[in-house]
Amino acid sequence: MTSVDSPTQTHGSPPGPGRRRGERSPSAPGRVWLAALVVGAAVAVPAHLFAPLAPPPTAVLEGDADLLADVEALVDPVTVQGVSVARFPVDDPGAVEWVRGGTADGSVPVDGNTPFETASVFKTVTAMTFADMVEKGETSPDRTLGEIFPGLDFADPGTASATLEDLATHHSGLPTAPATDPLRHYVLPSLAFSDAYGWSPHPLEALAVTPANTRGEYEYSNLGFAVLGAALAAESGTPYGELVRERILDPLGMDDTVIVEGGVPEGGAAPHITPGGTVQPWHNTDYAPAGITTWSTTADLVRFLQAVSGGTAPGLAALDPVHEDVSLPGAPEDAEGGFGRFTQGLAWFTVDVPGHGPVTMHTGGSLGSATIAAFDDGHAVVVMANSRTLDSVGLGTELLKDDPQPLPGNPDWLAAFGLVTTLMMVVVPPVLLVSLMLRRRTLITQRLLDRLRIVSLSLGSLTWLVTGLRWGDWQTTPMVLWALAAGLVAAGLTVGAWHFRRVPAEAGRWRRLHVSVFALSVVFSLTLGSLMVWSMAIAA
């Protein structure tokens, strides 16, 4: 970010030797610009060859012919980092079709045994564990949190009366994240693509500071499911991870479905916000009952759906309707079908898919993964992807139809917007920097070159170069532009270094304003730049 320019100098440090106040500094000689050109090229070439972010080659999809034809008709390969898809007839669950494409990390191809983040799909495992415990008389749907945790301090006394069924159907009134630190829960994940639950307190501790919002009404809540998992562990006397393994995972042979403490498991598909752009995986295992830090494979989820759709899985009562005609907050009241209204079991949703009919499902999404497990009375489908750019929900529901229809792509204006905003971040600041060094005046406001402007514009150009790498739309913008921008910044810095000793420290009309805005500019650039570097470091 550049400092705000102020009018021609009347105060400030003395100009360089032989210069009158308000006079432009001498232009840099040709040898300086030649050196800048060499430095710029020396930076641009390796920046292009070894860019920290580079979209992978367009994914090549492979697999069984019928499913492959459907997937290819529905998926734009540009949106794929890695994807694994399976489909099978409910009345012939052994006839599984498979399709895979892309990579787990830019080099390792994915297949049906590649671990992906399940995200919220794992809520169904928690819910079916709950249903299995109810069936065995180990707990009941109307058990309250106050009964299970009599000594717990609740920020909202009403939360003590929330039942396990309320938690399992998102009717407890609890928000999706603890009300402890909005900066870490919302701001940092939005800006830096960081783990939104990494700093969250234990779910039971979170109840001491988190009020309920709308008791008795639907409000999707990861916190609520994390509390449900803690409650089931307390009721059974078994740690949550051991409990779900004993009740659901082991009986169904889901050996590759795990709770991971250390990020990406060996061979796992690292999460990506866009193809090539890794993000930080989830780490806080206290929230595993909600699908945070849980990983599975397409093969394991196929085993899961084979048992669920075939009626042999433990805890099948989780699919029984608890709330009918539930309205998604913000959905039109007169909506007759689609994802705005649904029938709800314990975690499971049954949606009347337009043009098709009822589909029972659960979806999952983290900052860098997209998953769906769904079935109707004809077929079941699993989609697992490690980039949020792939529409797993649209793909999964279309694959259940007899005549899948192409998914709507991004409108042209969105692609144009992505290109323009990326150019604004990456190209404009270096052009302003080089223009300042060439003209010895700012391009727009015509203010004289001084040391403050050299520092602020150089630092701002570096900051936006890094920010554009992280925030830019590199699906529509050629990465070579980032390399050229890096070369321009290097050239501008080279000429700026030559000018630095030859210009006054400050050449503004209102010195205090100029210095104050300079300080704000530097603080902004250092903060944003540090945030972007940290974002890339934690995602590596």
What are the chain's domains? 30-55+412-539 (no CATH), 77-399 (3.40.710.10)
SS3 318: helix
For residue 241, what are the contacts with CB-CB under 8 A and spacing of at least 6?
259, 285, 288
Query: Residue 262 corresponds to which tokens in the numbers above?
Result: 């250390």
pLDDT range class, residue 14, cuts 50, 70, 90:
very low
Residue 228 confidence (pLDDT)? 98
At 215, give phi and psi (nearest 5°): -55, 135
- Among the residue ranges 124-138, 152-166, 421-435, 438-452, the one predicted with the least confidence is 438-452
**Any alpha helices (H) in 75-178, and if so which ranges?**
123-135, 145-148, 164-168
Tell me the pLDDT of the chain averaged across its residues. Answer: 90
Residue 412 confidence (pLDDT)? 72
Q: Quick check: 535 and 472 in contact, CB under 8 A? A: no
Say which residue, 24 or 184, is predicted with more confidence.
184
Residue 215 has pLDDT above 90, yes or no: no
Mean pLDDT in residue range 524-539: 94
**Short-list 192, 197, 189, 144, CA closest to 166:** 144
Angle of helix 451-471 relative to helix 480-500, nearest 10 degrees, comes to 170
pLDDT range class, residue 331, cuts 50, 70, 90:
low
- Among the residue ranges 5-19, 162-176, 275-289, 459-473, the one predicted with the least confidence is 5-19
Q: Quick check: 98 and 63 in contact, CB under 8 A? A: yes
Strand 97-102 relative to strand 61-63, pairing:
antiparallel
Q: Quick check: 80 and 55 in contact, CB under 8 A? A: no
Residue 25 confidence (pLDDT)? 72
Question: Is the CA virtual torsion 192, 271, 280, 196 positive or negative?
Answer: positive
Count of C-beta atoms within a 10 Å radius of residue 416: 12
Which residue matches tokens 């206290």? 286
DSSP state of 57: P
CA 100/CA 297 separation, integer angstroms: 12
Mean pLDDT in residue range 3-20: 40
**Short-list 454, 437, 427, 440, CA closest to 491:** 437
pLDDT range class, residue 23, cuts 50, 70, 90:
low
pTM of the predicted model as reported, rounded to 2 decimal places: 0.89
Query: Residue 82 corresponds to which tokens in the numbers above?
Result: 């890695």
Count of C-beta atoms within a 10 Å radius of residue 424: 13
Residue 330 confidence (pLDDT)? 66
Residue 15 has pLDDT above 80, yes or no: no
Angle (CA) 23 26 29, round 5°: 170
